[in-house]
Structure 1
Amino acid sequence: MTTTLSYRLPQKRNLVTELPGPQSTALAKRRQAAVPAAIGSSAPVYAADCDGGIIVDVDGNSLIDLGSGIAVTTVGACNPAVAEAVAAQAHHFTHTCFMVTPYEGYVAVAEKLNALTPGDFEKRTGLFNSGAEAVENAVKIARLATGRNGIVAFDHAYHGRTNLTMALTAKTMPYKHNFGPFAPEVYRMPMSYPFRDSFGVDGVSAAQQAISMIDKQIAADSVAAVIIEPIQGEGGFIVPAPGFLPTLADWCHDNGVVFIADEVQAGFCRTGSWFACEHENVVPDLITMAKGIAGGMPLAAVTGRADLMDAVHVGGLGGTYGGNPVACAAALAALDQMTELDLAGRAKHIGDIITEKLTATAESLGAQNPIGEIRGRGGMIAVELVTPGTIEPDANRAKSAAAYAFSKGVIALTCGTYGNILRLLPPLVIDDDLLNEALDILGDAIAAG
């Protein structure tokens, strides 16, 4: 399967210097004197140009991109339709603030998201700047609409870096360490993690355990919302066992609890459907979105039931830059491209290629196979690395595999509570040949240890 998109840059891996090259090294020295060390980067090369599945660095090296800027450049980093929409809007105005002088682009994006998101009820959409900001606002909406305070999140969750979203996030390092105290009334429950938990593929029982803990530790009538990533992102691309999400959603519905699906990373065709919650026909009350929404421009959204969204008083939601007109123009173009290029179907195709290739790698390694599990959906696939013959996490192997792949010109990201996951998020417009080449290199990287 190929896309109908034509590429501006050659879709070929090509290394002309050692990595990093001299110009990237020089920029790294400038960065050290200007940028806090706390802001890290996965790859020590500096981008000069990007297109399709290729990133060209300042030294002229062409690297294969398996990260999409963390699931952002779904339609490509310089999709022509998005670039044209951005330029056209910027030619007229870049900002007025929707809360001062509104504009059609904001309304059009809201209409589009109301139509695309699950649920046939009346909806409203508010636009914001980042995934964390969307999550914060979803929690605000749920608390005000229900008159309750408690928020339930889950083990391995990642929801952002602001104070409230750090409280919702499970992993301490590097996201929470010594940044507290955190926002109160946040409660953490066990997540369905089939590879590791005792319930395995019994998602209903795993959900019932979490619900029992909620009832005992908080009580349903004190819970404003349950927030969950339908496929966890930073936590390790964990796909809960079948039945886990529907059982939680049903409990929320029965108890007047707002069910929030955090689709910041998994949304917008990434998993082979517009939204990951659709794989089990789960209809959230509120859905948070960002990353892939606008082809690389900063934009986020909360879409949900009209009665919940409209419960908030005038002025209770908003922000100076939320729904910026240039970002809205980019979003409308990107969403059209997702439909025109059938990127949901493309994601399924990519997932099949990745799974087949890496399964062959695992089988070829026999007793020394460090791949504990290949999981995910569509273009959101995890490779969990373990000590062969066990489920003991091997973070060092994940780190060394990513480093080996980088040395050969392939950018692959790591993640997971235990740091032992290789996460694959290629642009959904990546060329098949380029993807297969990257996976061959990644297979060698995993085998190298």
Structure 2
Amino acid sequence: MGYCLGYALIEGGDAAFSMDASAVTFGPGALAEVGEEAAALGLRRVALFTDARLAQLAPVDAARRSLGRAGVDVVVYDEVHVEPTDRSFAEATRFAAEGRFDGYVSVGGGSVIDTCKAALLYATYPADFYAYVNRPIGEGREVPGPLPPHIACPTTTGTGAECTGIAVFDDTGRKAKTGIASRRLRPTRAIVDPLATRTMPKSVVAASGFDVVTHALESYTARPYSTRPRAPEASKRPMSQGANPWSDMGCKSALELAGRYLLRAVSDPEDEEAREGMAWAATLAGIAFGNAGVHLPHAMSYAVSGLCRSFMMPGYPEGEPLVPHGVSVVVNAPAVFRALAKTSPARHLDAAARLGADVRGAGLENAGEVLATHLGGMMRAAGVPNGLSGVGYGETDVDALAAGTIVQARLVSNAPCAVDEDVLRGLFRGAFAYW
């Protein structure tokens, strides 16, 4: 046994870790540079992906004008479905395939960016829809080759989709979320302009902000990369490789920023410092989990979103039940960290301190309770639903929720300990309410 930068190396485990990231431009007003970036990539005709609401707002207008100044022909696709589905991915793919674009620009939240990733993939390498979808739901086929350039411009401060090779969607037939994961899906460039987040309603700030928090918490507490079996080839090393020294840096900084700015950003839409701080936290957490991967709160969230019957979140599109992604994750998180803190108590206690918890006098044996209690307090202060009961679930749903989670093999296998459906049922029961 040896050590690499503080991680114990075990026989048969991976002794190396990879560091992948999109090229990122960050700062107020950076969205005005999208045209220059597109021209530098040699793009002449691009598809600009967004949703119907954003299509009428300043960020999309700024992107269109910038692309026009650079002499780039732009065709807008504004039919992105908030919380995408297999059907909405297919519709976007048809648009991309018919347009004969040499590049793509996405302006929006994770739903927009993920839809753009999927559309450009299937338009470039047509296949049966489930060919690229994660196992065991899909075939998990590797992306055959390079993809066209994609410039991702987030308008929310949470998903980190601009920095990852993951595209998540609702499988309407199975009533569960799943996704497509490949390093090739990672956007070519990310332009993160905090001013583009001004259009977010309070509830979206909260939901996306807790996505940042859980990305960082899960990546920081995931199974160590050194415990994962060594890949037969370097190219086969999984994108979700487990906690590692590279991802740890982003996680720690993102947690500190979220602890300082999340509740401020929720309470005051005019707090530009808080919005900028959360935009930077989202970028750091996106880079971190794009390399380490997340685990059980996200795996559980896919079932929570997919089985939603009646819950509707204020500030989100009306007319259909919807548990926003960040909410579907964080309602599980305190229960998971309370139960699994024993796998790495020092990390859980450190994470609580970085989020702003008072850890004076707390021992490692209290790490899970300290983190869970502080996270629950942040949720309550931000107006997030009180656990699973707050989004419409009860005891009769536990079996279906556990069954919808265990199939998320990529995420479940990244947990710091082995779990089965019995463990998951216990975690869901612990997530019904926190206050």
Do Structure 1 and Structure 2 share a fold, with TM-score over 0.5? no
TM-score by length of 1: 0.34
TM-score by length of 2: 0.35
Task: Name the structure where strand makes up a greater proportion of residues.
Answer: 1
Task: Name the structure where helix makes up a greater proportion of residues.
Answer: 2
Larger radius of gyration: 1
